[in-house]
Every structure is written in structure tokens, then in C-alpha cells.
Amino acid sequence: MTILTFTLLLLAGAYLAGLVGSLTGLGGGVVLIPLLTLVFHVDIRYAIGAALLASIANSSGAASAYVKEGITNIRLGMFLEIATTVGAVVGAVIAVFTPTNTIAILFGSILLFSAGMTLRKKNQEALPVGSATANKLKLNSSYPTKAGEVSYHLKNVGAGFSIMTVAGIFSGLLGIGSGALKVLAMDSTMHIPFKVSTTTSNFMIGVTAAASAVVYLQRGYMDACIAFPVVLGVLAGAFTGSKLLSRIDARVLKYIFCTAIAFVAIEMIYNGYNHKF
Amino acid sequence: MKKIISKIHLADHDIEQFIGLQLRFGVLLSSFIVLMGGILYLMQSGSMPLPHYQLFIGQKAGLTTGREIWHSVTGMEAKGIIQFGVIVLIATPILRILFSLIGFIFEKDRLYIGITMVVLSVMMISIFGGLKV
């Protein structure tokens, strides 16, 4: 295979990864790592480097739209970024001492969990009264809906912060956004309305990924010639996805993709178990 | 009281608009640089056989420090230009933290100036802390 064919194939693959990632809400990196390792037989370390870049591109691109609409809770994002960036740096350091097969197995498990999380029922209710910590940290806010501004309050800040640290560690270790864990912390634990938790999680993914990306860049995980088609492809795919999402009913697609992703996850775990990475 | 609230809200809104623009600009700029470098790379070496990506070389491949990358960019090397675009991409969310900090300083929100400084310090440790092992 020449470099040109590889680049074009990867560009198409990354486009699909960005599209599926944005339609399911899983993010581009989650599809990209299996694509690079299982299909293109690229070393998982290069795949992690590329996936981190895809996460940053995706998050920054989408966040720019959400932030302007005023749905994202910037204070909450900033506060929780303490947890995710510390976690991400820890994850990036642990990664050196973790065998690639273990990373593949962990990745598969997180993938299964993420696919499951995508299909669960979402929290739409805004909490009327928050906890004392949430008040002290000024985390309560409001967001625009069709029926006007809705104010919401938070609770279980400490527990949410802890889950965020774990999300950060996985993000740094595996090169993914860990969107599912972030939503679990905000949505199910801190009782933030779904729309706010997804956009704020997306807003944070860029910073979290950047915290470990700088470490990986210095370690040589970021190969320019893989990064080039990946960044451009994922961005274009995510852009198409966001346009499609408002026009089609993505629910059926979501079920199909999540089932497909579950199979991919099992393949990653199986290959990791058999030391194929 | 009401006036104070609306004032805070206004400032919040301005910062949100600005951060939105900054993120979009960063992504567009980096993809433009990556695209330019990528086209140059394909023109120079598109017909060559694929490097062995199933083997991890890591740092020995170069382009892992600011100096190496900058040297390569000024030499108009395709890989260096792509890697420079990658750096612009990684810098986009980091710059966002800096702009949030400026926003909180304008609002005189001491608590969040502190919180943002913590996030920024973690980032600096990650960049300059020699964590690559």
C-alpha cells in the first residue's frame, strides 16, 4: 500500500468515525481506535495519539456552537476540569507502565459501558433545590429551552468530582473523551439536566484531552502522517453528523451503531486477551 | 440587586461569545495548516510505500519538541507543518482556559480565578513537567 492509498482510506474511515461518533454521541475517538488498530493494523499507541487529536478537534468544534447558545455551564466545566486534567495527567503517566494488551482490554470494556450508557434513559428534570456545596461553588445555573429559561440546581458535588477524576484517568490512559463517564457523573450523580450535562461534558473533553496530549506528543505518539487524515476526516464527519442530527430521527441509528460498537468492543477485548496488540 | 445580576449575566454572555469564536477559529486554523502540510506531504511522498505503523518508534522519529517542529516548519518540511497544525489544535483548548481566566478577572470572581489558575497549573505541569518518562 502506498502512502496515498493509506491516506485516502484513512480519510474515509475517519470521516465515518466522526459521523458515527457524533450521531451516537460517543465521540470520534471511540470509533477511531478500533478502526486504526483492527483494520489498519496500526500500533495502539499511534492510535491513541490520533484519537486524542480527534477528541480535541471534535470537542472544540462542537463546543463553539453550544457555548454561544448559552447551554454550557462554564463554571461547572472549569471546576470539574480540575478533576479531569489531574486524572488525565495521571493516566498519561500510568500508560507507560501499562502493557498495550491491557490497554486494549480496558478500552473494550469502556467501549461496552459507553454503548450501554448511550441507550439508557436521560435525566430531563431540573432539580429545584441544590446542596450547600453547589451553592458555595456557584454551580447552579439556568439554560434556555423552548419554554424559556429553566434554572437548575446540583447535588452530590463531591461524588461527581470523584467520578470525573476517574473519567480523566481513562481519558489519559486510552486517548478517548470518556464522554459516557462524564455524563454519568453529571447526569446521574449531580442531577444536571441532560442537555446541560452533554454540552458541558463536550466542552471539557478538549481541555482534558489536551492535558494528556502534550505528554503523548513529547513521547512521539502523534505521527504527523496519521494525524493529517484523522483530524480532517473526523472534523468533516462530525460536522455532517451535527447537520444530519437535526433532520433525521437518530434513535434507530443509535441502536444499530451501539450494537455494532459492542461487537467491536468484544473483538478488542478478545484480541487483547490473546496478546495480539 | 437586580441590576447587579443582569450585569454579571451580560459579562458571562460576552465571554461565552468570545470563547465560542476562539474555539472555532482555533479549529479552523489548525485544520488549514494540517491540510496545507498534508497536501505537500502527499505531493512529495504519496507514491512511497507505507511506513511500518504496526511498529512503534516513538521519540526516535523526531518532531516531539517545540524546537524540532519549528526547525522543520522553517525548512518547509511537510511533516513539520502538519505537526505544527497539531500543536495549534492542542493549544486551542489550553488558550480557552486562559481566556476564561481573563473573563473571571473582569468579573472579579475570586473563587473562579483560583479554580482556573489550578487548571492552568496542571496544564503547565503537563507541558513542562517532563512527564514523558
Print burial letters for A152-177: b (CB count within 10 Å at least 16), e (below 16): bbbbbbeebbebbbbbbbbbbbbbbb
Residue B53 in any domain: the answer is no
The pLDDT assigned to A177 comes to 81
Query: Which tens digit of pLDDT belongs to each residue from B85-116?
Result: 999 999 999 999 999 999 999 888 999 999 99
Residue B111 in any domain: the answer is yes
Number of Cβ within a 10 Å radius of residue A39: 11
Distance CA B57, CA A219 (A): 10
Confidence of residue B7 (pLDDT cuts 50, 70, 90): low
Rounded alpha-carbon distances, angstroms, from residue B22 to A118, A177, A260, B100: 30, 21, 36, 11
Backbone angles phi, psi at A150, to 5 degrees: -115, 125
Distance CA B90, CA B51 (A): 25
The pLDDT assigned to B8 comes to 55
The pLDDT assigned to A269 comes to 94
Residues of chain A found within 8 Å of residue B93, distances taken between Cβ atoms = 56, 59-60, 206-207, 209-210
Residue B49 distance to chain A (closest CA, Å): 4
Domains: count for chain B:
1
Query: Which tens digit of pLDDT belongs to each residue from B23-55?
Result: 999 999 999 999 999 999 999 887 788 888 888
Domain that holds residue A224: 3-273
Domains: count for chain A:
1
Q: Which three cell numbers stand for residue B52?
A: 511500518
In whole angstroms, what separates CA A120 from the centre of its chain?
17
By the 8 A CB rule, do A52 and A38 touch? Answer: no
What string of pLDDT tens digits covers the 277 residues of chain A?
888 999 999 999 999 988 888 777 777 778 899 999 989 999 999 999 999 999 998 888 887 777 777 888 999 999 999 999 999 999 999 998 999 999 999 999 998 998 888 777 777 778 888 888 888 888 998 888 888 888 899 989 999 999 999 999 999 999 888 888 888 888 889 999 888 888 888 889 999 999 999 999 999 999 988 999 999 999 898 888 878 877 777 677 778 888 888 888 999 999 999 987 7
Residue A244 distance to chain B (closest CA, Å): 20
Single out the residue of A24, A26, A28, A20 nearest to residue A47, CA to CA. Answer: A28
Backbone angles phi, psi at A263, to 5 degrees: -65, -45
CB contact under 8 A, B60 and A220: yes
DSSP string covering B56-120: --GGGG---SHHHHHHHHHTT-HHHHHHHHHHHHHHHHHHHHHHHHHHHHHTT-HHHHHHHHHHH
DSSP string covering B42-64: HHHHTTSBPP-TTS--GGGG---
The pLDDT assigned to A89 comes to 95
Single out the residue of A23, A10, A79 nearest to residue A230, CA to CA. Answer: A10
Residue B52 in any domain: the answer is no
The pLDDT assigned to B73 comes to 85
The pLDDT assigned to B2 comes to 45
Rounded alpha-carbon distances, angstroms, from residue B114 to A77, A230, B5: 14, 36, 22
Q: Which residue in A41, A207, A220 is closest to B93 by CB distance?
A: A207
Assess A96–B contact: CB distance below 8 Å, yes or no. Answer: yes
For B108, the enclosing helix (H) or strand (E) is: none
Distance CA A63, CA A65 (A): 5
Residues of chain B found within 8 Å of residue A70, distances taken between Cβ atoms = 13, 16
Confidence of residue B3 (pLDDT cuts 50, 70, 90): very low
The pLDDT assigned to B9 comes to 57
Domain that holds residue B6: 2-45+62-128
